[in-house]
Chain A
């Protein structure tokens, strides 16, 4: 989405209006909600219980961490200040006491354990408020972490996140990436189980945010089988119409899902009715 559109959307939508849009989306066929762990999304998940039409299983797809918030904290407090803030939040949440006790001592600092404790802290708060009809279908690692791990070949990040999410939350581990081809190749080269993860990645006919190219991503997708892929950026940041997007997605049989942002009840009704009618279940 363009920066101006995103800003206007945040300014326009207050919780009450957001829940009306959510209700309309659910009524018109939305089967899940993809969200970053921004405080507003916490309120949205908490308020889902008030939606009467939510009478069927509904999937939640949290994306961790809320990267933009941490980038700002990094700017305000510096990297060490940011780490202190994360440890202080972990301490308040009661997670990973030993880790917090060690503080920022280089001797006791454990990056992988910190990642797991952070996942626990974020998910526990949502577990406590989500309605019983909802479940974590998959828990996603934000693209900034996924793609950084990919660039450095840090397979232990993928490995520990996958095990932690699957073992502790019985949810599918998921990864958001804007480097789909490289992601798939990396998993294949490192014998990581592609079929056990969900991948959220851009797919649109103009190749917006598809790297290294639309053709390569499409060809890579067509060679996969039984891998859960959720398409994002299907409207290429508001550049394409829904009809064009749907036509393109028909060329990607077997997609597990499509995530789309909506900004009004009408927008939700138009989008989800069309997606349901065109792409089915």
Chain B
């Protein structure tokens, strides 16, 4: 993700990649071989903060390192803006500490929940607000991927640092919180498929304070998912709304109006520079503009900490099914 964000940011006018901190010598050498000579390389991030004149830092390291990095960066420079790749931290306690570390400082602090910048999920949120499917009854949601198809050895497979819940599920959980507000009760079941230390599958029943209830399934061991796939089906008294990365589909009862599908292609998703999905560029442009204009990002640390709270509650209530 560090490569992705630095590449996109480097294409914006008046924005340049100035320095990279990487502890693996071989990766540092590979980066030096291909990146512009104007980029400085460091093995020690505190040294980098001291030597370089920076406006913003992207933290895209393994999740368990986020808190200490955020704390050190904030302590070192009160004006430096920080973007953290999701999730904010490994636990809710750590996420709260990250919020404390940047409270009352002068930078802009944002977490990479880029689905909120997708015009499809934005349209879905609008349609829910308009009440087109009537009184909300329940939802069914999943996020599936082919990320882990054998026994993994990266940090994602290690206890406290990854697992499907911390790695794949946060985007879906963030969208559900954005749609339905704060959860009131959570019950979950988990399963390990290829991993020894973390869960590969999670099923959670979530009740929201708004009265909305529904189920979430997250699994990263399914074949033929070229990209991670999110789907949310929302059932209302007047119809059903299905949301995915590709479309929003409204299936309304005959008396409630006309059914419609809004495909990704029907939105203008051209961006100044495309790498992976346009949402990343829109998100990074937003971060830059927010720094310039001092506007508060909707995916700030405090909002992102709520996702960590839900993840903790799922972990706490999860019964492992083997």
A residues near B (Cβ < 8 Å) are 2-4, 6-7, 10-11, 68, 72, 74-81, 83, 104-106, 109-112, 114, 144, 147-149, 151-154, 156-157, 178-179, 182, 206-214, 236-237, 239
Contact = CB atoms under 8 A, between A and B. Distances in A.
Contacts of A72: 146-147, 149
A3 B27 contact: no
Contacts of B36: 152-154
B29 interface: yes
Shortest Cβ-Cβ A-B pairs, 8 listed: A106-B25, A78-B154, A151-B7, A239-B265, A111-B33, A2-B246, A76-B152, A111-B30
Interface of B: 3, 7-8, 10-11, 17, 24-30, 33-36, 146-150, 152-157, 224-227, 229, 244-247, 263-266, 268-276
A76 B150 contact: yes
Contacts of B10: 151-153
B35 A208 contact: no
Contact of A206 (B244, B245, B246, B265): B265
Contact of A2 (B7, B35, B264): B264
Contacts of B30: 109, 111, 114
B192 to A, nearest CB: 15
A79 B147 contact: no
Q: Identify whether the interface residues of A are mostly helix, strand, loop, or mixed.
A: helix
Given A72-B149, A211-B270, A110 B33 contact: yes
A83 B26 contact: yes
B269 A208 contact: yes
Contacts of A147: 7, 273-275
Given A151-B8, A212-B272, A6 B153 contact: no
Contacts of A179: 273-274
Nearest to A2: B246
B33 A81 contact: no
A111 B30 CA distance: 5
Contact of B229 (A3, A144, A157): A3
Contacts of B148: 75-76
Contacts of B247: 2
A154 B34 contact: yes
B29 A211 contact: no
Contacts of B8: 151
B167 to A, nearest CB: 8
Contact of A75 (B7, B147, B273, B274): B147
A148 B7 contact: yes
5 contacts: A75-B156, A78-B153, A179-B273, A210-B270, A212-B272
Contacts of A207: 268, 270
Given A4-B244, A109-B30, A236-B265, A81 B271 contact: no
Contacts of B33: 110-112, 156
B246 A3 contact: yes
Contacts of B34: 111-112, 149, 152, 154, 156-157
A182 B263 contact: no
Contacts of A110: 33
Contacts of A153: 10, 36
B274 A77 contact: no
Given A76-B148, A78-B154, A178 B264 contact: no
Nearest to A211: B274
Contacts of B153: 76-78, 81
A109 B227 CA distance: 31
Given A79-B24, A211-B272, A213-B270, A151 B29 contact: no
A215 to B, nearest CB: 10
A7 B225 contact: yes
Nearest to B247: A2
Contacts of A213: 270
A10 B225 CA distance: 10
Contacts of B154: 74-78, 81
A149 B225 CA distance: 27
Contact of A76 (B147, B224, B268, B270): B147
Contacts of B268: 207
B265 A109 contact: no
Nearest to B225: A7
Contact of B226 (A68, A104, A111, A156): A68
Given A77-B153, A179-B274, A206-B265, 8 more contacts: A7-B225, A10-B226, A72-B146, A79-B27, A144-B276, A207-B268, A211-B272, A239-B266
A77 B275 contact: no
A214 B34 CA distance: 30
A136 B157 CA distance: 40
A221 B131 CA distance: 45
A153 B194 CA distance: 40
A188 B276 CA distance: 25
A104 B26 contact: yes
A7 B265 contact: no
A104 B247 CA distance: 43
A6 B245 CA distance: 13
A177 to B, nearest CB: 9
A63 to B, nearest CB: 14
A152 B35 contact: yes
Contact of B273 (A6, A149, A211): A211
Contacts of B27: 79-80
A154 B34 CA distance: 6
